[in-house]
Amino acid sequence: VRRFEAGLLAAAETEAEHVQAGLRRLAHPGAQARLPLVEAAGRRLEELLLGPAAAHLGDGPVVIVPPGRLHRVPWALLPSLRERVVSVSPSASSWLRARETRPPRGGRQVLVRGPGLATGGAEVTRLADRYRGATVLEHSDATVPRVLAELDGAGLAHIAAHGTFRTDGPLFSALRMADGPLIVHDFERLGRSPYRIILSCCDTARFATVGADELLGLVTALLPLGTAGVVACSAPVNDAAVVPLMLALHEGLAKGLPLPEALRDARSAMPDDALHRATGWAFTAFGAT
């Protein structure tokens, strides 16, 4: 075990908020001029968070267990982590539990498309062609009871929907379904949450900190329920730019890659413009596989 001294937590938290504001602006076409500002903020954030440790990360995957106040950091924006396989976990015990979780028999795939997406959830149609035996829930079929029933015990779930985070009640944060909100509390009714779940939704990787650094949010609700890996987003993103990222992510999974590696490769496959780069940075892999 080696210890390194970096920057102050309060300064890192402030810089992370600046980065989030920059990513929100880059989610809109025509914001290319702001890209250098966001990249510069990423360099400052790395100095505050990693300091000299950035030069000693080695070549293998990186597992990050940040304090609660830093869970909104888009880690892929940090220069030393952009080409790395990175996974984030609420705690070391959570990561170990996720690593030891085994996939369910059968490996069912569930694809969900919520209402009101700018692209109509275009990736779901494409993914249905890839996973021919998948259960596809869209339009009037994408109701809260039906979605929960199909998610229970699935091997892989992909949900394209609008997400909202409730700072005043994080367990009431929700994904928008055809008949209303699918809230965090609802997932706790599952016998077993999906082994892997990809949330192609804004703000699904946001958390509230309570007590002694305990985190409340959708990701932290899923990991103890049988989910080994989650891909979620910490900022608003451009719906159209999300589609190619998600398709590339699933290409990696089809090759047998774990979620963190598939996400890293999907980012690398995106067009090198501000809109697509910001979209890739906004998504994070949580858990272990």
Ordered structural domains, the chain, with CATH = 100-287 (3.40.50.1460)
Q: Are 93 and 82 in contact (CB under 8 A)?
A: no
Distance (Å, whole) CA 126 – CA 264: 21
DSSP, collapsed to helix, strand or coil, labels residue 75 as helix
Beta-bridge mates of residue 137? 112
DSSP secondary structure letters along 224-260: GGT--EEEEESS---HHHHHHHHHHHHHHHHTT--HH
* Strand 196-200 with 229-233, pairing: parallel
List the pLDDT tens digit at each of the 289 positions of the chain.
Answer: 899 999 999 999 999 999 999 999 999 988 899 999 999 999 999 999 999 999 999 889 999 999 888 888 999 999 999 999 999 998 899 899 999 999 998 889 999 999 988 887 889 999 999 999 999 999 999 999 999 999 999 999 999 998 888 878 888 889 999 999 999 889 989 999 999 999 998 778 777 777 656 677 888 888 888 899 999 998 888 989 999 999 999 999 999 999 999 999 999 999 999 999 999 999 999 998 8
DSSP, collapsed to helix, strand or coil, labels residue 93 as helix
CA distance from start to end of the chain: 24
